[in-house]
A and B are shown apart, each in its own frame.
Chain A
Amino acid sequence: MKEMRKKIEELLKNGEIDVALGYRENPATGEVKADVFRKDETLDDMVFDERCVQNLVNYLPTLVARYKKVGIVLKGCDGRSLVTQLVEHRINKSQIVALGIGCEGVRLDGKEADKCGDCATNMTPIVDYEFGEKKQKKDPVFSKVKEIERMSPAERWKFFADYFARCERCYACRQICPSCYCEICVADQQEPKWIEPSAKLSANTMWHLIRAYHLAGRCADCGECERVCPQEIPMRLLNNALEKAVHELFGVRPGTVPEEVPPLVVLNKEDPDTILEGKNE
């Protein structure tokens, strides 16, 4: 951490970056939040530890629009979500300096965050400066997804319908997701109304299905959607189910390979037709 702080100080000083996006601790409350660090200030408040849950990539597009060059502190999972951003021309690599840090896991509500159990890489795949230790990771197991998969279709629907019905459609999940950046979200469209504006089960179901599908092969499991959901809808389950599916179907783990094109737009004539068949119950 010290090393990283020093590096960032140096980068800011010699103008290699205009601002740095990192985590700031409020010494009074002990709270840690995303913030922008500038040249003329001390980096004493900059921290990196298990409290740094937020994915900073979501703030990048606004910052790169305002500054020429932005440094960003990246955990493994956040780095994965950056891959999609770069491939989809949302951010130009030349405008950012990636400061990867070996993540030891983050904590939410006093215990290790769920997503860390399924961590695919603790070091960002895109990195300019590397700090801390890079660990060999096992493939995610997605045990909760498997639990759902063991249920009958009716049980599964009951499980999800209960959650979907609670959705208020505040779109916090959309707003926090770095990969949800459409100019006009399909949920806001009138022509036609694929998703009706009112918060009711049928429209909420459409919203959650479409949200999950649109992230298929792009979601890097940073878990922010689920974290910010005021109704505690388990959105990571849907994301993970598709992450698992994409891996099983196409052998791809989204975001782990720089410059990899999202699997849903890859042309592969050799896909077997069996991928179109239903899985056994």
Chain B
Amino acid sequence: MQVEKEPKILAILCKWCSYAGADLAGTSRFIYPANVRIVQVPCSGRVDPIMIFKAFVEGYDGVMVSGCHPGDCHYGTGNYHARRRIAVARRLLEFVGVHPDRMHFTWISAAEGKKFADVCSRFTDELKALSGTEKTLARKELAT
């Protein structure tokens, strides 16, 4: 099946900006790869890096996190805290061998439907380029 070959992406999006941006991509009919699975969180500040770790262990090819642009957070400062946390988490994951291109952290506003679709397409392409390399961290079956 074709779908299986597509790299699997987990997108953790904040409810107010990025999820709305993803909705706008839909309303505007911007086509992007069907392999993106969106998880809604109230704010990028809610994103605990554990979620990102788990996603890689569970076998996602790539993880993206997006929230409101700096200064635009619906909750004032959530995205600033997210930025620090995710920056550190990214360094840790890279250190243990997750390829840097498997993580994509960005800001997408509610008005940036196009940007969301573009990011998804570009990210998918980047992950396809990695298809020959090992999907580190990903567990294979129950017992590992």
Q: Determine whether A and B are in direct contact in the complex, meaning some CB atoms lie less than 8 angstroms apart.
A: yes
Task: Show the binding face of A for B, using Cβ within 8 Å.
Answer: 145, 148-149, 153-161, 186, 194, 200-202, 205-206, 209-210, 212-213, 216-217, 238, 241-242, 245-246, 249-250, 263-269, 271, 273, 275-276, 278-281
**Residues A217 and B70 in contact, CB atoms below 8 Å apart:** no
The size of the chain B interface, using a CB distance under 8 A, is: 40
Known: A276-B90, A278-B90. Contact between A266 and B71, CB under 8 A? Answer: no
The 8 Å CB contact of B92, one of A155, A241, A271, is A241
**Residues B71 and A269 in contact, CB atoms below 8 Å apart:** yes
Known: A153-B136, A213-B92, A279-B100. Contact between A264 and B85, CB under 8 A? Answer: yes
Chain B's nearest CB lies how many Å from the CB of A82? 22
**Residues B53 and A273 in contact, CB atoms below 8 Å apart:** no
Closest to B95 in A: A241
Closest to A160 in B: B96
**In the complex, which of the residues A242, A250, A263, A278 has the most CB atoms of chain B within 10 Å of its own CB atom?**
A278
Contacts of B42 in A (CB 8 A): none
Known: A200-B144, A276-B105, A278-B100. Contact between A242 and B87, CB under 8 A? Answer: no
**Residues A156 and B97 in contact, CB atoms below 8 Å apart:** yes
CA distance A2 to B76 in the complex (A): 55
Known: A202-B144, A206-B57, A279-B91. Contact between A250 and B96, CB under 8 A? Answer: no
Q: Besides the contacts A159-B97, A194-B54, A238-B96, what 9 more A-B pairs have beta carbons closer than 8 Å? A: A153-B94, A154-B136, A161-B136, A186-B50, A206-B50, A212-B92, A217-B88, A264-B85, A276-B105
Contacts of B88 in A (CB 8 A): 213, 216-217, 242, 245-246, 249, 264
**Residues A238 and B133 in contact, CB atoms below 8 Å apart:** no
Task: Show the binding face of B for A, using Cβ within 8 Å.
Answer: 49-50, 53-54, 57, 70-71, 77, 80-81, 83-101, 103, 105-107, 133-134, 136-137, 139, 143-144
Question: Can you sample 15 A-B contacts with CB below 8 Å?
Answer: A160-B97, A161-B97, A194-B54, A205-B53, A213-B53, A238-B92, A238-B96, A242-B95, A267-B81, A269-B70, A269-B77, A271-B84, A276-B83, A276-B105, A276-B106
**Residues B90 and A157 in contact, CB atoms below 8 Å apart:** no
**Residues A271 and B98 in contact, CB atoms below 8 Å apart:** no
**Residues A249 and B97 in contact, CB atoms below 8 Å apart:** no
Closest 9 CB pairs between A and B?
A278-B100, A157-B97, A202-B139, A157-B136, A156-B97, A245-B91, A275-B87, A276-B105, A241-B95
Chain B's nearest CB lies how many Å from the CB of A211? 11
**In the complex, which of the residues B83, B86, B87, B98 has the most CB atoms of chain A within 10 Å of its own CB atom?**
B87
Chain B's nearest CB lies how many Å from the CB of A221? 15
Known: A154-B133, A202-B57, A216-B92. Contact between A266 and B84, CB under 8 A? Answer: yes
Closest to A246 in B: B88
CA distance A73 to B143 in the complex (A): 45
Contacts of A156 in B (CB 8 A): 95-97, 136
Chain A's nearest CB lies how many Å from the CB of B44? 11
Contacts of B96 in A (CB 8 A): 156-157, 160, 205, 209, 238
